[in-house]
Amino acid sequence: MIKQMNARHAALVLGAAAMAAVFSGCATFPNSEVAVVNAFPKLAEGNSRPSVFVPKNSHGGLWVMRKKEIANILNASGLFGKVSYDPQDLDALDYTLSVELRRQRSFYFAWYMATVLSLHIIPSRETNHYTQVVTLKDLSGNVIASTSNKDSVSTWIGIWFIPWCFNTWTGAVSQTLDNQVKAALLELANNGYLQ
């Protein structure tokens, strides 16, 4: 009888742990440290838009994930006449525009263990900090301007975040990094470097 109770008790504990893992909330939110950019300045009539070459020069493995999004932002901004990723086009373009992404992660293992041991009642958090540097160079490689900004995304884990479980990491990171690129381009445009 004692063996049956121990087996039943173990099954209940394992079942409760499995339910907590399945139904625990995990939600990611942008921390919005960079002001949201909704529009870019319009060029005056008669002004030609510069053309840029964008090399692959990211750090942290983020370039492959972000190349398409960065291309869409550059093209949709209306700030450039042509955007190229082909090094063979370099001589026919005005500038080189490099976008460098760096990520640093803040994660507290002790808090995460408290979350797990409490069956996700005690929440924990992981934060990814992103630094983005956008550098504009002439064709000789001389730096014309460089701008950087920092933002972050936090992922919360715990049953309290079940209502926000559709706030995915991918969506929050894309929103944050897209806005960082836009903010850097806006700064370059407002300071008269994209002419």
87 exposed, middle or buried (CB, 10 Å; 0-12, 13-18, 19+)? exposed
Query: What integer pLDDT is reported at residue 59 of this predicted model?
Result: 44
Mean pLDDT of 24-36: 88
Quickly tell me which residue has 């630094």 as its tokens. Answer: 131
pLDDT tens-digit profile of 61-112? 555 567 788 888 998 999 998 988 888 888 889 999 988 888 899 988 888 8
pLDDT tens-digit profile of 177-186? 999 999 999 9
Average pLDDT of the chain is: 84
Spell out the residues 6+ positions from residue 116 whose beta carbon is closer than 8 angstroms to its own. none
Mean pLDDT of 151-179: 89
Spell out the residues 6+ positions from residue 53 whose beta carbon is closer than 8 angstroms to its own. 84, 85, 86, 87, 89, 90, 93, 95, 96, 97
pTM here? 0.79
For the chain, the domains span 2-190
> Which CATH architecture describes the domain 2-190?
2-Layer Sandwich (3.30)
Spell out the residues 6+ positions from residue 108 whose beta carbon is closer than 8 angstroms to its own. 124, 125
